[in-house]
Every structure is written in structure tokens, then in C-alpha cells.
Amino acid sequence: MTANTAVNQTDKNSPTTIYLKDYLPPAFLIEKTHLTFQLDPEKTTVTSVLQCVANPKAAPSQSLTLHGQDLKLVRLQLNNKALTAADYCVEEESLTIHAVPDAFTLTCVTEISPATNSSLEGLYKSRTMYCTQCEAEGFRKITYYLDRPDVLSEFTTTVIGDKQQFPVLLSNGNLVASEQLENGFHSATWHDPFKKPAYLFALVAGDLQVVEDNFITCSGRNVVLKIFVEPKDLDKCEHAMASLKNAMKWDEEVYGREYDLDIFMIVAVDDFNMGAMENKGLNIFNTSCVLANPKTTTDAGFARVEGVVAHEYFHNWSGNRVTCRDWFQLSLKEGFTVFRDEEFSSDMGSRTVKRVEDVNVMRTLQFAEDGGPMAHPVQPASFMEISNFYTLTIYEKGAEVVRMYHTLLGPELFRQGSDLYFERHDGEAATIEDFTAAMAEVSGRDFSQFKYWYSQAGTPVVKAEGDYCAQAKTFSLTFEQYCPDTPEAKGSDKKPYHIPVNVSLLGKAGLLPLTLDSQAQPQTEVVLELTEAQQTFVFNDVQEEPVPSLFRGFSAPVKSAYPYKKADLLRITTQDSDGFARFDAMQQLAVVAIFDVMAALRKQEEWQLEPLLLNAVKELLTNEALDPAMVALMCTLPSQAYMSGLATPIEVELIHQARNAVKAAIAEQCFDLWLAVYNRCLSTKAYAFNANDVALRSLKKVALEYLMVKPTEEVLALCVKQFNNADNMTDESAAMSALVDCTAPLAAKERVDALAQFYERWKDEALVVNLWLSVQAADSTPGALKRVEALLKHPAYDSANPNKIRSVVSVFCNQNAVNFHAIDGSGYVFLADQILVLNKQNPQIASRLLGPLTKWQKYDVNRQGLMREQLLRIQSEPALSKDVYEVVAKSL
Ligand code: 0A1
Ligand code: ZN
């Protein structure tokens, strides 16, 4: 088993911290890279021939230092001269050749062991196939190289393998040669004409089937599209292919970006640390993000495939053609590409639903990251292990920052800015500053204050107050902003942000026309630009006291507060033209209702469901003109995780109880309405993935959840019927979840039967089994840890497969709060045990699992002690990986 190089604890040194301010260009460039792989499970030979030149833009250097990790060096040759031990020095993570000329060819032969590479970085085996993962720094586990994103090279790759075992041999670019060799071996040579950094390199070898299609680009070129999968998954490629074609077309229409190679390939692999990877011309996907079939995949799964396929495809421009100078610029490609994929998905389905889902992720998960010990700016200033920085802040907050340019500039100028950025930096490694400069140049705007969104960590808090003067007919909005302390800076030292605030004013009969001092033409929505710590905006000619609708569409990633009365919120939920604002107001009403119940439970007092919330729900359930997807979202109570972000210390049990109590009250008091809604949503049409059908299924699911809180015989029968007769996984798994979540004695047998039957039906479908595992890991009834431990021993579990680990361990620790945070600390001990095993086996996954423990400061003193104890236990492990070390050290 190879693991990441363990941190040497005996010398008491922590791993080195790398700083953005220390960036230096590379002393050498690699113009051409020629690789030959002779595949073998334990002894793959990699021959690299590198054409190197001194970098004219860097300080001259006589020696060349290459990155390398877990490599066995077999041979080294400089031009025609074989090098001997005296000519170079091999260290744990590098190879230095003492003297090199200004231009030279370096030939290097190394041996690696893909079969024992359990870290899933570099070249590894996933079931029967070989594949690679090189971002961020995995290429150095393949051969010695300048493994940094600002070294761009033209790659030619020859792969040699046994033809029977590996009929398919793939790498980046175009296939330029294939040969039949002796002893049943064959070879394929691929050439990628586009210069790229090593992190975009890919290789795949396996016995794979292919689904093929084509796309004619806007300039009339034919591009062959291929999706490679294991034979059993051939029936699950159609949706990814359609999504790919939609994404290619969308990128041409919306960004003017045309695909550049003659072939675009996707490969599905089972063992993958992340969702997918944008390697040039050869994207590698976690099966969970590419395979979809109505029978085995939920609507959420379909949406994820559509989004991830598009995301990886969009990287061809935002990431590959224009790449990153260094890893501090990661959000340059990730934030921009997430913004692009979010907009694509909005255009393909329901814009409002997509926005609500994305904002929920920001508010529940990214805000928690921003408020924890791993908080970092969108452009971090330092890191120890870059793998730890593939975060919600880099991706999702980064996308929100790009969205704010879009809001401030409007679509036309934004497009001009992106055109300029792509044109100016094509074939280069760029920086976040380059992106900002392009946006500034096309708009003539000054983004110097806006840049604090990149350099300051933490979620800004914006408090607003309104003041209506009936006499003068003015409405003043006063905003105050501040940003809390984060690990790298005190709040008081942070500069005010440049915040776009989308505002409308609601009158009794709808949106009011707005006249600001600075504007002549009345509109119904304006973008206020908040730049001061405190600032007032005055609207004129306001004929009645309005209810302001603020941060419409979540126009900035901030925590906002306005002293709304409950009736004001109700007005927004029913009258606002912005779907997100309606959802948001409803959620605020629900939060208030849950907090009220928590307060009553704390004092052991009687409580009553907030009547305004109940009325709002009833209105939503009876108004058949509303979008069912919005009804579903608005009737879904804020999650335990969302509620946990609102007050410290987090009262785990109380939130759980109060949420359940509110849910039960709504369920009971609207039972007949829910039943009517459920019946209204039933459909006899065959499954299709489109906004309307998804909307109906989502509302049906929410209806079933409420009905199953306290089911009648009739409801239970409906649920079982849906479980048995559904023609698609969305409905089938919704019924299973409803049964599993149902604690009523009436459903006790059905609950047990459903789980057993589901497994019997789907035990041969790995991704469906993951769903089955996660439903059980999230089951919040008592005794969850025992059940989870049993799942880890179940034949369906595979402790080396990240998807399985996520389905059980992550789901239990992140989505089963009452059990994970059991007051005896057993959940924490369990997680630490898992992390310690994974630390050796797969450090990236181990480090990601640490998340819930790092938030210890948000809990009561008792739990704080128990969580810290486990962090300390992990810290005392003698061979801690860099990945785990960094997160633990920063958390303590
Ligand atoms: N760039 C990919 C995600 C990715 C990042 C890191 C990986 O290994 C550490 C793997 C994939 C994307 O944004 O889709
Ligand atoms: Zn990405």
C-alpha cells in the first residue's frame, strides 16, 4: 500500500507551509513531454523524455529540481549521457540534477505500483482498469516532473498493455498510432497538440465498452464524443451524452467557446476521490457523476450528472485553455466554472429551484466552513496540502464572487469581460487578478475594493433597517456591514466589502416603482452598491409604507438581517416576484417557528405552531397555480444543519425535537391537504427528466414525507404501493426513505421489509446500494451507531471505495446529528477510528472526513471536550499524512 508521504513527526517539524507571496516562476520550462507506459500491476515502467529549456523569465539556475513521490528511479539520462549517482540527488519528494545546460533532453525511467496505490492519486487500479488522477499534485507519483500548473508542455503518450485485458488504451488528445506487439501486447500513442500542465494529464486502460455520438461545432467541425464504461453500465450513458451535447452548444451560445480537439472522451470509474476530472480531451468521472438511468438514478442524480458533465466540459476553456499560474489561483478556474455550470443547469431546468438549492449549499455548508477553523479566503494566502483546499469556499463562494461581477456588470459587459479574459490568456497560466483586470477593462469600473472578496475570509454580516416617512414619501434603507474574526484576520482589521444588494419594495398590491436619487427612470428592482461600513440609500416617491425585499436572488454571499414582522415575511412569500425571495421569507418564518418551539421545550412549556406559518403552508398547498417545485421547497423545513448554523452552542437534540415537532404539527393539521396534493402529483406518464416532471415528483416526495409522519392505513398502503410499483428510482427511493423515517408502530413491519426488499432488488447496482447505505446511515432513530458499524461489515461495503465510505461514514457523521453527537462521545470515537485507518490508506478522504470534528467550538462544553479529545488522539498518531495533519493542527 502506498500512502502520501507521512509527516515526519520525530523531527518535530510540521509540513512546510507554502505562501502565495513566495511565488517564483519556474527556472526551467518543459516544451515537450514524451511518455511511455509499460503497464503492470506492481511494476509499471514509465519512461519520460522531456525537452527542457531555461525559462527566460526566471532567474538562471544551474541545477534542475523535479517533483517526485513514491517512485523508484531506474535510469536517468541527460541528452546522450547516462547520469550516475554523483550527478543527482534523490530526496523523499524531489530529484535534483546538479548541473544542466540551458536546453537539454532529459530521459528518466521510473517504476511505480498502481495495484497497491490506495491513495487514488497518480496511476492506480480501479477494479479491472488502470486510471490516473493528477490534479493537484498526483503527476509526481507517475514520474519526476515540474509538477506545477505554470509549466505547460505538449504531451505525446504511448501506452503499452496486454490486449486481452486492456483492449482500450487512452490518453489525452488524438490517437496518432496503434500497434500490435509481441506476446499479446499492443500499444496506442496519443498526441495532445495543446500545451497543458501535468495536472491535466490522463491515462486509462481497461476492458471498456463505448457509447459514441458526435457534435458539429459552430464552425462546422465534427467532434466525436465517446463515453467509456464497464459493460454492465452501457445502459446508463444516454443522459450524460445528451448533457454533454447540451453543454457544448450552450458554451458556444452563451460564452462563444468552441471545442478544440476532434474527440472528447469521458471514462467512468468506480474508485474516485472526487466527482470528476477535466483532463484535456479525456475527462475521468466518478461513476456517481456520469451514469444515469431512470430505474437506478434519482432526479437529484440526473441533475448531478448534467451539472458535473457540463462543469468538466466547461473547464476545457476555464481551466485548460486558460489555466492557473499556481494553486492559490484555484478559484480562478473552479469558481468561474461552477458559476458557468450553475447557469447552464438553470437554463436547462428551473432557474429558481437551482438557485434555491445552490444557496442552501452556501448557507448550510459554506457558511459553516467560513465560520470554522479551516476558513480561508477565495484566494488563500497559504496552505500545507493543496488537496485540503478543494473546498466550498474555492468552488461555491468563488462562484458567488463571479456571479457578483455578472450582477454588477450586467450580462453584456460580463460576456465582453470573459471574451477578453479568454482571448488575452489563451494558452497561458493566469491569475485571479487577470480575471478582475479583464472585467475592469471592459466596464471601466474600479474593482479595487471588490478584491476583498478574494483576500478576506469569513461571511460578511449585513444588517439593514428601513425608515418610511409618510410625509416626504421617502423610504430610507440603512445598511451596516462587518465581517467576523477568522483564523487569518481579526474582523476589526478587515476592510468593508463591495456588496451588490438587489432590492425591490413591496406594496400591498405588489412591487412598487423605485426612484433613487441617482436614477431618473423608475424600475421595480435596483442593485444598490454597498461599499461603506454603514450607508444609507433613500428611495423617493414611495406612496405607501413598503416591505423591502433585500438580496433578491441572493445577490451577495452574506448573512443578512432585517427586522421583519412575521406579517411582512408572509407578504413576501405570497407577493414577491422573485422566487428565491419567496422561498427565503418562508424559510425565515419556519426558522422563527422552530426557535419558538425550542424556547418552549427548553422551559418545558406548552407550545403552539406559529399560525402564520401554518397559513402559509395551507395557501401553498391549495393554490394549484403555483410551481410544484417551489411548493415542495417552501414546505420543506430548514434542515438540522441549517438550523445548527444559526445559534451557538448548537443544541443538537433540541433542534431535532423542535423540527420534528413542527413537522408533525404541519403534517397533522394539513393531513387532508397533503393527501390531495399527493394524489394531484401522481402521474401515469413514463419517466422523463425535465423541470415539470421533476417538480411534480419533488412535491409528491414532500407530501409523502408529511403523510408518513403519522400514517393512516390508507397512507401506508399508498407508500408501499409507490415503493413496489414505481417505474423510477426517484419515486421508489422516496417511498423507501419515507418508510425508514417513519417511527409509527403501524409501519414497523413495512419499514423493515422495504430495506430488505430494496437490497434484494438492487444488490448488483453499486450506485443504488450506495443510496441504500446512506438512507440507513442517516436514520436518526436511536442505535444508529450500532447499525452503521454493522453496515461496515456488510458484504456490500468496500472500505477502499470512496463512494461507499461517503455513503456510510460521511452520511452518518454529517447527516445524523443526534446520533453522531451522542453525548457519550461514541460517534466521535467512531469517526476518529475511521480517520486513523484512512490516514494511511487514502489521506485525501481521511482529511475530508475530519470536517464535523473540526467544528467542535460550536458545541456545548461537554461535547467540545469529547471532540477535542479525538482530534488530539488523531494528532498523536506517529505517521500522520500532510492532509490530516494540516486540518487537525488548524482545528486545535
Ligand atoms: N478539478 C476537478 C476536481 C478534482 C480536484 C481534485 C482532485 O483530486 C485531488 C480530483 C478532482 C473539478 O473541479 O471537477
Ligand atoms: Zn472544477
Confidence grade of residue 522 (pLDDT, cut at 50, 70, 90): confident
User: What is the H or E stretch that residue 34 is in?
Assistant: strand 28-38
Q: Are strands 515-516 and 534-540 parallel, antiparallel or unpaired?
A: antiparallel
Distance from C-alpha of 82 to C-alpha of 421, rounded to nearest angstrom: 44
Q: What topology does CATH give the domain 324-455?
A: Neutral Protease; domain 2 (1.10.390)
Residue type, 664: A
Is the pLDDT confidence value at 56 over 60? yes
Q: How much is the pLDDT for 14?
A: 80
Atom of ligand 1 minimally distant from the CA of 276: 14
Ligand 1, atom 10: nearest CA belongs to which residue?
274
Q: How much is the pLDDT for 6?
A: 47
Residue 460: name the closest of 390, 557, 369 by CA: 557
Q: Say if residue 80 is exposed, middle or buried (CB neighbours under 10 Å; 0-12, 13-18, 19+).
A: exposed
Strand blocks (E) in 301-376: 322-324
What is the 3 state secondary structure string of 423-446? HHHCCEEECHHHHHHHHHHHHCCC
Count of C-beta atoms within a 10 Å radius of residue 892: 13
Residues 6+ apart with CB under 8 A from 126: 120, 269, 270, 271, 272
CA–centroid distance, residue 278 to ligand 2 (Å): 7
Each domain of the chain, given as residue ranges in start order, spans 1-207, 208-316, 324-455, 461-563
**Neighbour-count burial for 174-199, b at 16+ CB within 10 Å, e otherwise:** eeeeeeeeeeebbbbbbbbebbbbbb
Atom of ligand 1 minimally distant from the CA of 387: 9
Count CA within 13 A, CB hemisphere, residue 348. 27
Is the pLDDT confidence value at 810 over 80? yes
Strand blocks (E) in 448-565: 461-469, 474-482, 499-507, 510-511, 515-516, 526-530, 534-540, 547-550, 559-561
Atom of ligand 1 minimally distant from the CA of 334: 13
Q: Rounded to the nearest 10 degrees, what angle do helices 398-425 and 432-443 cross at?
A: 80
- 324 bridge partner residues: 430
What is the 3 state secondary structure string of 385-402? CHHHHCCHHHHHHHHHHH
Distance from the first to the final alpha carbon of the chain: 29
Count of C-beta atoms within a 10 Å radius of residue 833: 13
Residues 6+ apart with CB under 8 A from 865: none
Q: What's the angle, vertex CA 245, arms to CA 771 and CA 288, rounded to 5?
A: 15
Average pLDDT of the residues in 404-428: 98
Distance from C-alpha of 36 to C-alpha of 188, rounded to nearest angstrom: 10
CA–centroid distance, residue 806 to ligand 1 (Å): 16
Report residue 25 as a C-alpha cell: 516562476
**Neighbour-count burial for 7-41, b at 16+ CB within 10 Å, e otherwise:** beeeeeeebeebebeeeebbbbbbeebbbbbbbbe
Output phi, psi for 194, to 5 deg. Answer: -90, 125
- Collapsing DSSP states into helix, strand and coil, what is residue 539? strand
Atom of ligand 1 minimally distant from the CA of 844: 9
| ipTM greater than cut 0.90 | yes
Given a contact cutoff of 8 angstroms between Cβ atoms, the answer to whether 607 and 592 are in contact is no
Confidence grade of residue 103 (pLDDT, cut at 50, 70, 90): very high
Confidence grade of residue 516 (pLDDT, cut at 50, 70, 90): confident
Average pLDDT of the residues in 342-368: 98
Ligand 1, atom 13: nearest CA belongs to which residue?
334
Q: How much is the pLDDT for 517?
A: 66
Average pLDDT of the residues in 200-227: 98
Ligand at minimal distance from the CA of 200 is 1
Average pLDDT of the residues in 732-753: 97
Q: How much is the pLDDT for 13?
A: 55
Q: Which architecture, in CATH terms, is 461-563?
A: Sandwich (2.60)
Is the pLDDT confidence value at 40 over 60? yes
Residue type, 402: V
Atom of ligand 1 minimally distant from the CA of 337: 13
Report residue 126 as a C-alpha cell: 480501479
Q: Are strands 153-162 and 28-38 parallel, antiparallel or unpaired?
A: parallel
Among residues 121, 230, 312, 342, the one annotated as catalytic is 312
Is the pLDDT confidence value at 11 over 80? no
Ligand 1, atom 12: nearest CA belongs to which residue?
277
Report residue 152 as a C-alpha cell: 505547460
- Collapsing DSSP states into helix, strand and coil, what is residue 759? helix
Residues 6+ apart with CB under 8 A from 26: 55, 58, 146, 148, 150, 151
Average pLDDT of the residues in 430-459: 98
Given ligand 1 and candidates 141, 278, 390, 393, which is best to mutate, with the most ligand atoms within 8 Å of its CB?
390
Distance from C-alpha of 212 to C-alpha of 546, rounded to nearest angstrom: 57
What is the CATH class of 1-207?
mainly beta
Is the pLDDT confidence value at 212 over 60? yes
Q: How much is the pLDDT for 779?
A: 98
Q: How much is the pLDDT for 520?
A: 64
Is the pLDDT confidence value at 264 over 50? yes
Distance from C-alpha of 352 to C-alpha of 369, rounded to nearest angstrom: 25
Atom of ligand 1 minimally distant from the CA of 308: 14
Residue 78: name the closest of 35, 38, 49, 56 by CA: 49
Q: What is the mean pLDDT of the chain?
A: 97
Question: Is 312 labeled as catalytic in the residue annotation?
Answer: yes
Q: How much is the pLDDT for 565?
A: 96
pLDDT in tens, 570-622: 999 999 999 999 999 999 999 999 999 999 999 999 999 999 999 999 999 99
CA–centroid distance, residue 311 to ligand 2 (Å): 6
Given a contact cutoff of 8 angstroms between Cβ atoms, the answer to whether 66 and 114 are in contact is no
Q: How much is the pLDDT for 389?
A: 98
Given ligand 1 and candidates 119, 123, 131, 135, which is best to mutate, with the most ligand atoms within 8 Å of its CB?
135
Q: How much is the pLDDT for 10?
A: 38
Distance from C-alpha of 513 to C-alpha of 507, rounded to nearest angstrom: 10
Average pLDDT of the residues in 167-178: 98
CA–centroid distance, residue 372 to ligand 1 (Å): 23
Ligand 1, atom 6: nearest CA belongs to which residue?
135
Q: Which residue has the cell 466521535?
A: 828
- Collapsing DSSP states into helix, strand and coil, what is residue 252? helix
Neighbours of ion ligand 2 (CB under 5 A): 334, 337
Q: How much is the pLDDT for 1?
A: 34
Q: What's the angle, vertex CA 315, arms to CA 313 and CA 320, rounded to 5?
A: 125
Q: Are strands 44-54 and 103-112 parallel, antiparallel or unpaired?
A: antiparallel
Confidence grade of residue 519 (pLDDT, cut at 50, 70, 90): low
Count of C-beta atoms within a 10 Å radius of residue 141: 26
Q: Determine whether the shortest distance from the Cβ of 334 to ligand 1 is under 6 A.
A: yes
Distance from C-alpha of 810 to C-alpha of 641, rounded to nearest angstrom: 14
Given a contact cutoff of 8 angstroms between Cβ atoms, the answer to whether 97 and 106 are in contact is yes
Q: What's the angle, vertex CA 694, arms to CA 689 and CA 699, rounded to 5?
A: 165
CA–centroid distance, residue 440 to ligand 1 (Å): 29
From the DSSP assignment, how many helices (H) and strands (E) are in the chain? 30, 33
Distance from C-alpha of 195 to C-alpha of 95, rounded to nearest angstrom: 24
Evaluate whether 1-207 and 324-455 have a shared fold: no
Report residue 649 as a C-alpha cell: 452552542
Distance from C-alpha of 738 to C-alpha of 709, rounded to nearest angstrom: 8
Q: Determine whether the shortest distance from the Cβ of 341 to ligand 1 is under 6 A.
A: no
Distance from C-alpha of 473 to C-alpha of 454, rounded to nearest angstrom: 39
Q: Which residue has the cell 478559484?
A: 331
* Domain 208-316 annotated CATH 3.30.499.10: no
Q: How much is the pLDDT for 5?
A: 43
Distance from C-alpha of 888 to C-alpha of 836, rounded to nearest angstrom: 12
Residues 6+ apart with CB under 8 A from 649: 858, 859, 860
Distance between alpha carbon 68 and the CA centroid of its chain, in Å?
A: 29
Q: What's the angle, vertex CA 524, arms to CA 519 and CA 528, rounded to 5?
A: 55
Given a contact cutoff of 8 angstroms between Cβ atoms, the answer to whether 835 and 884 are in contact is yes
CA–centroid distance, residue 337 to ligand 2 (Å): 6
- Please give the full DSSP string across 64-82, using - where no structure is assigned: EEEE--S-EEEEEEETTEE
pLDDT in tens, 621-643: 999 999 999 999 999 999 999 99
Report residue 855 as a C-alpha cell: 467544528
Confidence grade of residue 9 (pLDDT, cut at 50, 70, 90): very low
Distance from C-alpha of 869 to C-alpha of 871, rounded to nearest angstrom: 6
Q: Determine whether the shortest distance from the Cβ of 395 to ligand 1 is under 6 A.
A: no
Count of C-beta atoms within a 10 Å radius of residue 447: 18
CA–centroid distance, residue 423 to ligand 1 (Å): 25
Percent of the residues in the chain that have a pLDDT greater than 90, as a whole number: 97
